[in-house]
Each structure stands twice: as structure tokens, then as C-alpha cells.
Amino acid sequence: MDDQIEALIERIRNKAENLYRTHQMFCAEAVLASLNNGLGGGLTEKQAVSLAAGLTVGIGGSGCMCGALGGGVLALGLFLGENGPYRNRKAIREASGELHERFKSVYKSTCCRTLSKHVKDDPKAHFDHCAGITAAGAEMTARLILEKRPELALRSNQPYLERQQSRIAAFIMNIANFFR
């Protein structure tokens, strides 16, 4: 991949991590929202968060599949199915399997509970660990999407990706969003 696409992937990674670290979104939400908004997926932020919310904390808090992976699978469907979801089902399924394998090759598991077992008793370490996995999940997914559809780089939303929120700004936004 060329340098511009690598830089775009890095911005998507950083955006997902910022959304997580500032408590604006959980893992799956941050991955889907950063990719959707960063690559022009067409969902509103509310739609992206609503779609991914049930996948957070290992599918509804169960500790099963990692939310970063689940958010990535949703993003693959969004972008690879964009021009004909019914005829592209096989491509989406294959790309989802590829993402699963890439994720598993790095982390040796796709289970939230297993991935965080070694940090479960240390809230700060747990948070930092999940922030890193969220960032990596967004990066892996962005890489896979852009390998399959490099033209999406042309419609990237650079101002969105470059905007990093502080914790205070994010806190204020969270309060405002709560009352919407």
C-alpha cells in the first residue's frame, strides 16, 4: 500500500482509540464509527453506535467475542456490501473470516474474556489493554477494506479523522448526547 493509504489507516486507528480512551464509545462502537465516518460509510453516528452497542464488552457484557472484532465485521459489511449486499455476501463472509484470522493470529483469541483475563483485576491496565485492541481492530479492518476497495481512500473524511477530543470535551459531548 502506498504512503497515503498507510497514513489514512493510522488516522483511523488513532480516531478509534481516541473515541474509546475519552469514553465517548466502547470498542465495537469506536471501530465502526471511526471507519464509517472516516471512509464515508453513510451511517449517522447514532446509527453506527446503535448497530454496534450490543457487541461491546464481548456481546452485551457476556465476555464472548471481542467488540473490536465485531465492530470490524460490521464495517466490512457496510463497505464491501455497499454496491450490492446480496450479490456480495460471499465476499463479505470471506473478508470477515480473513479479519477473524488476522485478529486471532495477533491476539491468539477472539474472546473478550480470554483477551482481558490477565488484566481483569487491574482496571487501568484493563482499560489500556482494550484501548489498544480497539485501535488495532480498527487498523486491521481499515487495512482489509482498503485492500479490497482502495477507491474509498478518495472519499475519506480527513477533518473527522484528525479531530482528537480531550476527555473534558468528550465528557461534555456525552452529556449532550445523553439528552438527545
Could you report the per-residue pLDDT of 99-149, keeping only the tens digit for each? 999 999 999 999 999 999 999 999 999 999 999 999 999 999 999 999 999
Report how far residue 129's alpha carbon sits from residue 7's, in angstroms, rounded to the nearest whole number: 23
Residue spans of the domains in the chain: they are: 3-178
> pTM score, two decimals?
0.94
Q: Quick one: 114 exposed, middle or buried, by C-beta within 10 A (0-12, 13-18, 19+)?
A: middle
Is the per-residue pLDDT at 177 higher than 80? no
Asked if 142 and 134 touch (Cβ cutoff 8 Å), the reply is no
Return the ∠ at Cα 47 (arms to 41 and 48), rounded to 5°: 60
Grid cell, residue 155, equals 472519499
